[in-house]
């Protein structure tokens, strides 16, 4: 038996009325593997604890298989939780740790058959008679997972179960978790701050920022069409290149996006997404380019939709199978502070002109809450000189390009680059994606 989980406008506040989870709505299908992804402090573990019944829900409702479950006791939810710190009883052997919840649920039953079956499934039969102090970190986590699996729960709740393990073991257990959950077919909610785990494990990924759900979708869709600049920057390795630009759309010339000392000339005829950028004429925007959207090649080798720029090599990272090259293109980066400081800046409350406010006021207030504060920081242009040199301590340009080890590049080399505009992202000053355009544009005739 597995379980459907639904959260409708769920909120949670602690001291001083600060909401750590703000009106979160999410539907999890039976048997689905959903990953809650976000930086530390974004509220993802709090969401998991509210589903488990370990935290009270201040507002909204939790539905389990369509039934209201806000006040249902944790023991009655038939869910199993796997913690980051293993949470094993040090005075019990592996067998006793796995069998302990079974003895609590059915005091008169013999837990050994289920314990042995679970141990065979996880390949830990030789660990059953050892105490936690005699086990490695990976072995302890397997025992902790065995304790959860043996209960035959309706849902698994996993709170960063692999974060305390070394990289090699983490990758191995990641594959084991994926195989086990799919074999058992049990609904799984998995919390992590590691986007590599999220992309490899989840059927869907829900990205949180400051307690607000930013986007939910398949790993492929979240990577390919991020809703805002925070999601774009949080998903993907290396991090997406975010450059400050200005849209230039003269009536008698080609449309361009100025990047400081260079510009991107949009090919004609303009596609629909690029046509919609005309309304941004003269405005500052954030240009997003993933490392695979730029390649090292001469202008003569340009394919349809590629435009030429140049870059100065600042740093070369040899990865073995690939090389990451840091270029200075003469542009200035846009900073996403929440990637380092997860709590978003609190926007000052809008002052209403009359008591109660208008419908438009309330809609604007709601939209501001959904963004959870400014996503990006655009520096004051006065911070940079006429040559647009970035402030001290920041990498100039900061355009990272993924390439093959065949190129022999050295610091200080001027290199021709081709940008594939089919993979161009453009975000407005609030960080919302404006190119590619949303799937559905408003119909003026409706």
d(CA 39, CA 227): 17
d(CA 322, CA 254): 36
Write out the E strands in 59-143.
59-64, 67-68, 79-82
Per-residue pLDDT tens digits for 390-416: 444 444 457 999 999 888 888 899 999
Distances (CA, A) of 306 to 255, 268, 364: 15, 12, 38
Is residue 334 within 8 A of residue 377, CB to CB? The reply is yes
Q: How many CB atoms lie within 10 A of CB 387?
A: 8
* Structural domains present in the chain: 5-227 (3.40.50.300), 230-336+375-380+392-435 (2.40.50.140)
So what's the pLDDT on residue 270? Answer: 86
So what's the pLDDT on residue 86? Answer: 77
Residues 6+ apart with CB under 8 A from 282: 246, 247, 248
Tell me the chain's radius of gyration from C-alpha atoms. 26
Q: Which residue in 41, 56, 45, 54 sits closest to 10, CA to CA?
A: 56
Residues 6+ apart with CB under 8 A from 303: 418, 420
Per-residue pLDDT tens digits for 242-258: 999 999 988 888 899 99
Q: What is the mean pLDDT of residues 182-192?
A: 92
d(CA 341, CA 290): 22
Distances (CA, A) of 194 to 11, 37, 207, 373: 24, 7, 11, 23
Number of H helices, E strands in the chain: 10, 21
pTM: predicted TM-score of the whole model, two decimal places: 0.82
């Amino acid at each position: 038996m597995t379980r459907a989980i639904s959260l409708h406008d769920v909120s949670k506040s602690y001291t001083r009325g600060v909401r750590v989870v703000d009106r979160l709505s999410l539907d999890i299908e039976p048997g689905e593997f959903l990953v809650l992804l976000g930086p530390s402090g974004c509220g993802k573990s709090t969401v998991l604890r509210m589903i488990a019944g370990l935290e009270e829900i201040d507002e909204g409702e939790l539905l389990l298989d369509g039934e209201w479950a806000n006040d249902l006791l944790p023991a009655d939810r038939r869910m199993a939780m796997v913690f980051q710190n293993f949470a094993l009883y040090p005075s019990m052997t592996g067998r006793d740790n796995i069998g302990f919840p079974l003895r609590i649920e059915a005091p008169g039953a013999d837990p050994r058959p289920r314990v042995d079956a679970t141990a065979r499934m996880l390949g830990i039969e030789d660990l059953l008679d050892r105490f936690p102090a005699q086990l490695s970190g990976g072995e302890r986590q397997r025992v902790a997972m065995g304790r959860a699996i043996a209960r035959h729960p309706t849902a698994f709740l996993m709170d960063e179960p692999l974060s305390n393990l070394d990289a090699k073991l983490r990758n191995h257990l990641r594959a084991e978790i994926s195989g086990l959950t799919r074999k058992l077919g049990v609904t799984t909610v998995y919390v992590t701050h590691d986007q590599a785990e999220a992309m490899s494990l989840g059927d869907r990924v829900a990205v949180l920022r400051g307690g607000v759900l930013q986007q939910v979708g398949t790993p492929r869709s979240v990577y390919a069409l991020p809703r805002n600049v925070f999601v774009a920057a949080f998903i993907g390795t290396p991090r997406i290149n975010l450059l400050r630009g200005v849209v230039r759309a003269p009536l008698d010339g080609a449309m361009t996006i100025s990047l400081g000392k260079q510009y991107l000339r949009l090919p004609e005829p303009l596609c629909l997404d690029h046509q919609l950028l005309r309304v941004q004429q003269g405005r500052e925007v954030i240009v997003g380019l993933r490392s695979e959207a730029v390649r090292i090649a001469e202008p003569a080798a340009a394919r349809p939709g590629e435009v030429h720029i140049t870059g100065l090599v600042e740093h070369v990272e040899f990865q073995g199978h690939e090389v990451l090259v840091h270029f200075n293109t003469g542009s200035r980066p846009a900073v996403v502070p929440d990637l380092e400081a997860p709590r978003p800046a609190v926007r000052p409350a809008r002052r209403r002109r009359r008591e109660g406010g208008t419908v438009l006021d309330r809609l604007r207030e709601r939209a501001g809450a959904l963004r959870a504060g400014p996503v990006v920081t655009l520096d004051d242009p006065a911070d940079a000189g006429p040559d647009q040199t970035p402030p001290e301590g920041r990498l100039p340009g900061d355009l990272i390009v993924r390439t093959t080890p065949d190129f022999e590049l050295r610091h200080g080399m001027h290199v021709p680059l081709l940008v594939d505009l089919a993979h161009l992202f453009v975000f407005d000053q609030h960080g919302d994606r404006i190119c590619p355009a949303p799937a559905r544009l408003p119909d003026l005739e409706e």
